[in-house]
Amino acid sequence: MTREDFRRELGDAFDAISGSPDPALSDRVRSALVEAPERRGPVWIGALAAAVIAVILVGVLVLGNPLNRGPQVPGGQPTPSATPTQAPPVSPNPSPTASPLPICSASAITANQSPQTAFIDDVRTGTHAGFDRITIQFQNGQPPTIELRPQTGTTFTRDGIGDKVTLAGKNGILVIIKGADAHTAYSGSTDFKTGYAGLAEARQVGDFEAIVQWALGVNGTPCYHAYILDNPTRLVIDIPTT
């Protein structure tokens, strides 16, 4: 392949993705620019107003949010000293302490600071007294958002492919990790058929457009504790078995 061949093929592929812009785009942008607020004064005032509002909002959230007294992450184990912005101290193999009831509804974990793309470099499962665990480890920091969505049944749609897969177990939890990829630093298994009492199966059902999805098949109700630990950064999801 010559340099020109490679460029031509890439150009055609890019063309297929982007197409051409709407001919009206130029007029649309021009109108938006003309109608945009004047650059200096109003922007400066707007920024100041936004800063004041942000300070007030942060204050309200800090003082008024009961979750503030718990961990950063839904379903995690609260510690008296935990702050909303810091993950709890990490031990090599953390065990849940006395914890609140597990979460049985959708929840999200958001990061204060994230890399452009968080590279998953390890996934492992384990069983412990009272819970089964899946750990998804990140090489370079916490991804911006992680969502957990419990569901009835264990049928999931594979992202980017569209077909359906059914996991072992009775119910499921879909874990959606946004701003991550599982193909750069991870080459391990993408399907763990564990046979555990709680977590029956964990299977990757998406690694596309910087969104990684793992489906969990559980034997009981789809409830969980989820939290982030660091050194290394990892998402820990515990499925109660008692």
Partner 1 sequence: MISVVMDQRPQTMARAAQGDAQAFATLIAPLLDPAYRLAAVMLADRTTAEDAVQEASIKAWRKLGQLRGDVGSLRSWFLSIVANECRMVRRQRWWSVTKLAEIVPLHPSGDQFDATSTDLKSALLRLSPDERLPLVLHFYLDLPLEEVARTLGLSPAATKSRIYRTARKLRSDLTLEEVF
125-154 positions binding partner 1, by CB under 8 A: 144-145
- Smallest distance from partner 1 to CB 140, Å: 13
C-alpha 231/C-alpha 218 separation (Å) is 28
Stretch that binds partner 1, among 57-65, 166-174, 178-186, 215-223 (CB under 8 A): 178-186
Candidates 70, 71, 169, 179: give the one binding partner 1 (CB under 8 A): 179
Closest residue by Cα to residue 159 from 217, 215, 208, 106: 208
Candidates 81, 85, 91, 116: give the one binding partner 1 (CB under 8 A): 116
Contact status: 93 vs partner 1 (CB under 8 A): no
Of 165 and 211, the one with the shorter C-beta distance to partner 1 is: 211
- Smallest distance from partner 1 to CB 25, Å: 6
Candidates 133, 178, 225, 234: give the one binding partner 1 (CB under 8 A): 178
C-alpha 103/C-alpha 186 separation (Å) is 29
Contact status: 15 vs partner 1 (CB under 8 A): yes
Q: Decide if 131 contacts 198 (C-beta within 8 A).
A: yes
Candidates 121, 181, 201, 238: give the one binding partner 1 (CB under 8 A): 181
43-82 positions binding partner 1, by CB under 8 A: 43
CA distances (Å), origin 114, targets 74, 92, 111, 199: 18, 22, 6, 29
One-letter amino acid at 189 equals S
Q: Where are the beta strands (DSSP E) in the chain?
A: 107-110, 118-128, 131-138, 145-152, 155-157, 164-166, 171-178, 180-181, 191-193, 199-208, 211-218, 225-229, 234-240
Contact status: 29 vs partner 1 (CB under 8 A): yes
Contact status: 41 vs partner 1 (CB under 8 A): no
Closest residue by Cα to residue 146 from 113, 110, 94, 104: 110
Candidates 50, 58, 164, 183: give the one binding partner 1 (CB under 8 A): 183
Residue 63 is inside which H or E element, if any?
helix 41-64
Interface mask (CB under 8 A) for partner 1, residues 156-175, using x and -?
---xx---------------
Q: Roughly how many angstroms between the first and final C-alpha of the chain, as a whole number? A: 60
197-236 positions binding partner 1, by CB under 8 A: 208-211
Q: Decide if 145 contacts 234 (C-beta within 8 A).
A: no
Chain residues that interact with partner 1, rule: CB under 8 A: 1-3, 6-7, 9-22, 25-26, 28-30, 32-34, 36, 38-40, 43, 116-117, 144-145, 159-160, 178-179, 181, 183, 208-211
